Amino acid sequence: MTTPDTASTVAAATIQRAKSSPFGSVLADTMSLAWYRDGAWTPAGLVPTGPLPIHPAAHALHYGSECFEGFKAYRHADGSVQIFRLDRHVARLQQSARALMLPEPDAAQVSSMVISLVDRVRDIVPEAPGSLYLRPLLFGTMPNIGAAAQPSNEACLVVLASPVWDYFAGGMKPLKILVEEQAQRCAPHLGRVKTGGNYAAAMGPTLAARREHGVDQVLFCPGGEVQETGAANFILLRPGRLLTRGLALIPAMATVILFGERATTNLLVLSQVVLSLQLPFAVIPLVWFCGRRGLMGDLKAPLLLQAAGWICASVIVLINLSLLSAVLRGV
């Protein structure tokens, strides 16, 4: 029989192990699970974290019908645990499901699955700056290897939890970013869909840049149109200005960029901080970020810029622009 003291010891050991392990590699021992069969979702349940019974002909394995979300729960000073913008992340999961023609889960059910899981594993939510990373995953399970043009009529929804700290190895430090002017992060119409295929597509260019130039991430700017890195949205900071993508000015870009809830909030918070400190910053749209002559040709002073990226699973980080000097020739 597990006693409160034993449970506390196990939780402390789990947190300590997660602190010294790669981001997301230590999972809670419980997950939330539901299935879509015969036109309806089964009641969700909390089960031990472990392998799922998936047929090798499952639709997701062959035709990529899979999407997910990533957000966090935070422990506050009073001991309470708060989930960051759960409703908005659930809405984005539903958006992804519709785009991939997956059975769309009910928002109330997804929210309940997340909340019940957080309540069950609240003992392993770290104190700040740690947090509990939450990963709802939805994928098609219909066993049919001839359904390339047919949506899956069966699906699985699972929610995983992982105590985490820094996303990038080495902790908080400036990142090195390579500007990629040709390759795209993903297919344009899938930019706002949080699906594994987008990350897999960005992996090749990112690993090649890491191997050849020693960078942390690649900023995709095909034809000079800034998109984002493989793991983050992107802004530029200049004395008196905060530059970010003007999606309203270029509607087509709204389908290319996964503009996350953390990104939206961070931009709002950053603007509020600037206003509260009465700093001379203004928010202006970043319409043309990079071209063959480098960063923002009209600025003429790229080395005076600072850059920042935010990651749904992580934090705002500064980006080291010194590595960009190779692509700034002629500016």
Over residues 273-283, the pLDDT tens digits come to 544 544 443 33
Amino acid letter, 90:
V
Burial 263-277 (b: 16+ CB within 10 A, else e): beebbeebeeebeee
For residue range 201-226, what is the model confidence (pLDDT) as tens digits?
Answer: 888 888 998 898 888 788 887 877 77
**Region 259-279 average pLDDT:** 50
Q: Which of 285, 191, 178, 269 is nearest to 235 (CA)?
A: 285
Lowest mean pLDDT of 175-184, 223-232, 253-262, name the range: 253-262
Which residue carries 């020739």 as its tokens?
Answer: 329
Alpha carbons 192 and 92: distance in angstroms, whole number:
9
**Region 63-76 average pLDDT:** 95
Burial 192-220 (b: 16+ CB within 10 A, else e): bbbbebbeebbeebbeebeeeeebbbbbb
**Region 120-134 average pLDDT:** 94
The structural domains of the chain, ordered by start, are 4-164 (3.30.470.10), 175-327 (3.20.10.10)
| Full-model pTM | 0.78
Alpha carbons 304 and 296: distance in angstroms, whole number:
12
* Average pLDDT taken over every residue of the chain: 76
Residue 64 has pLDDT above 70, yes or no: yes
